[in-house]
Amino acid sequence: MILFNKQRLFYTLILVVFTAVQISCSTPATKEKVAMDIMKENIIPQPVSMEATNSSFELTAESDIYVDAGSEAAMSVAQYLADKLNPSTGLGLEAKPTNEAPDAGNIYLTISGADTQLGEEGYNLTIAEEGITLSANTPAGLFYGVQTIRQLLPAKAAMNTAQEGPWLVATGIIKDQPAYEYRGVMLDVSRHFFSVEDVKRYIDLIALYKMNAMHLHLSDDQGWRIEIKSWPNLTAHGGSTQVGGGEGGFYTQEQYKDIVKYAQERHIIIVPEIDMPGHTNAALASYAELNCDGKATELYTGTEVGFSTFCTDKEITYKFIDDVVREISEMTPGPYFHIGGDESHVTPMEDYIPFVNKVQEIVAAHGKKVLGWDEIANASLQDDTFVQFWADVENTTNGVNQGAKVLMSPAKKIYLDMQYDSTTHLGLHWAAYIEVDSAYAWEPTTYVPGIGKENILGIEAPIWSETITNMDELEFMVFPRLPGVAEIAWSPVEKRSWDEYKVRLGAHGPLFKALGIDYYASKLVPWKTE
């Protein structure tokens, strides 16, 4: 009897302890919240508006990411976030469909009933102690909100090895949308070839800063980098080398489609460029008939510009261009086809103008809008043609006077192949030395007199690869200037000042480190180490 009572007491005790443990685990709301100020977080690009509520939300092993049932694209944004966070946090976040707002402790992504003023790419992010709600009109808007969430978490959340929590996010309300519809970078894969994996990594890095366009410079004097089934020697011969005489390379059509898809999943368009009528030696070396004298040129591995040209009055030239534009356009869902048009120094202007006019028609016939370097404004621009300003104010103004919108890429400010200063071991300096402050502290709407916000499609930072041979070198030139370009393209001008920005940028040092980026640690920036 006594024994029986003792036993009962023992079991009762166990039950009490068990219940107590259960209660404390299942009611995180009773846990003391850590006070955090969202205004002290360092989001780049700076959001349009932020309001602090001075507490925190904790992502835990109980958390998941819920999405309105029925939208596959929204679901893939949730899956993207889970895939980014699970390796470091080990929280096993799952993307789950739902028909209503989830319980406390979760992240909720919704594209129903968002504020219409947010437009196509904006988002509202509400972070409360109980959970995170991200709403947008489109999956793209959700994707940009997700980048903000990633930046609000500790930098080590960006690593792909297991890290210690806690995973706290400051509470508050963010309303955000971009200033420009086109926010991009250009990568020259012709002078030095970059692999599919390299391009994907660059896509991932620009996605973190809410950029939405990657322009690939796929052909130049030194190399043709995209398989064209109807003209196979372009890659077989024209893709076989690069600057300095290395092996070169090219993307098969399957690989190109893979890049396009990878970019698309990150709400980034690929803008293919076939540069013409100049910068065409790789094609001229591959097909004799494209030359006026009918003789193929030698492959070229130097870095001079402006010596090559298609034969602009031969029929075959336009048949060739039609095939190339058709094959590439068929694989490219984005709206643009870039026709280059720069530095055609050996094409007489009386040939250049009809050439650009004809090529615009070819591109339009394949359902794409033309983008071209500012020289193309010497021709008669079609309604849907866009001019990319890189050097010549007169050309660009001429384009605007013809009604074209401008993609802003001033070489003196955002050519990422320009050296930071005279000690930079990579890059060129023909346009300028561009320190981090100079790349940030300029304003697209006042940079070229007479070209205002209404004339500007967006901002793009090119990197040319005469001296850039691999990803380490590329990342050193791109970072830390790229986040500044992204901010110019996204944030309202009244929210931008170098003195304030440099502190936020400095706080991205640990994030760059977590991502394995070997960046240029400019002395102008107060870098944080953690």
Nearest to 455 by CA among 493, 411, 413, 400: 400
To ligand NGO, the closest distance from the beta carbon of 507 in angstroms equals 30
Looking at beta carbons only, is 464 or 519 nearer to ligand NGO? 464
Closest residue to ligand NGO: CB criterion = 464
User: Shortest approach of ligand NGO to residue 428 CB, angstroms?
Assistant: 5
Three-state secondary structure call for residue 331: coil
**Where in 219-248 is the site for ligand NGO (CB under 6 A)?**
none
Is the Cα torsion angle 371, 121, 167, 529 positive or negative in sign? positive
Q: Residues binding ligand NGO: what is the number (CB under 6 A)?
A: 10
Of 328, 208, 325, the residue nearest 259 (C-alpha): 328
| Nearest distance from C-beta of residue 59 to ligand NGO, angstroms | 43
Minimum gap (Å) between residue 342 Cβ and ligand NGO: 4
Site string for ligand NGO, 87-126 (x = CB under 6 A): ----------------------------------------
Residue with smaller CB distance to ligand NGO, 300 or 390: 390
Could you give the CA distance from residue 220 to residue 217 in angstroms, rounded to a whole number? 8
Is 343 a catalytic site residue?
yes
Closest approach, Cβ 189 to ligand NGO, in A, equals 12
Coil, strand or helix at 346? coil
Asked if 426 touches ligand NGO (CB under 6 A), the answer is: no
Among positions 344-363, residues that touch ligand NGO (CB under 6 A) are none
Beta carbon nearer to ligand NGO, 85 or 199: 199
Q: Is 343 in the site for ligand NGO (CB under 6 A)?
A: yes
Site string for ligand NGO, 384-413 (x = CB under 6 A): ------x-----------------------
Nearest partner of 334 among 363, 373, 375, 356, judged by Cα: 363
- Contact by Cβ (8 Å): 310, 292: no
| C-alpha–C-alpha distance, residues 185 and 209, integer Å | 11
Position among 68, 121, 322, 417 found at the interface with ligand NGO (CB under 6 A): 417
Complex with ligand NGO: residue 417 or 487, whichever CB lies closer: 417
Of these, 193, 194, 415, 527, which contacts ligand NGO (CB under 6 A)? Answer: 415
- Write down the H helix ranges in 436-479: 436-440, 444-447, 471-478
How far is it, in rounded angstroms, from Cα 499 to Cα 437? 9
Alpha helices in 295-392 (DSSP H): 315-330, 349-365
Q: Which of 351, 344, 277 is nearest to 306 (CA)?
A: 344
- Say which of 120, 181, 343, 375 is annotated catalytic: 343
Q: Report DSSP letters for 172-221, one per residue.
A: EEEEE--S-SEEEEEEE-SSS---HHHHHHHHHHHHTTT--EEEEE-EET
Among 342, 435, 437, 487, binds ligand NGO (CB under 6 A): 342
**Residue count (the chain):** 530
Rank residues 464 and 490 by Cβ distance to ligand NGO and give the closer one: 464
Query: Residue 252 carries which side chain, given as an amino acid letter?
Result: T
In angstroms, give the least distance from the CB of 465 to ligand NGO. 8
Binding ligand NGO by CB under 6 A: which of 104, 305, 331, 364? 305
Write out the binding residues for ligand NGO, residues 463-482 only, by CB under 6 A. Answer: 464, 466
The closest alpha carbon to 444, from 434, 454, 436, belongs to 454
Q: What is the 3-state secondary structure (H, E, C) of 488-503?
A: HHHCCHHHCCHHHHHH
Report the residue number, 140 or 407, with the smaller CB distance to ligand NGO.
407
**Smallest distance from ligand NGO to CB 215, Å:** 11
Minimum Å gap between C-beta 247 and ligand NGO is 20
* Sign of the C-alpha dihedral computed for residues 177, 207, 213 and 303 taken in this order: positive
Q: Name the site residues for ligand NGO (rule: CB under 6 A).
A: 305, 342-343, 373, 390, 415, 417, 428, 464, 466
Catalytic residues: 343
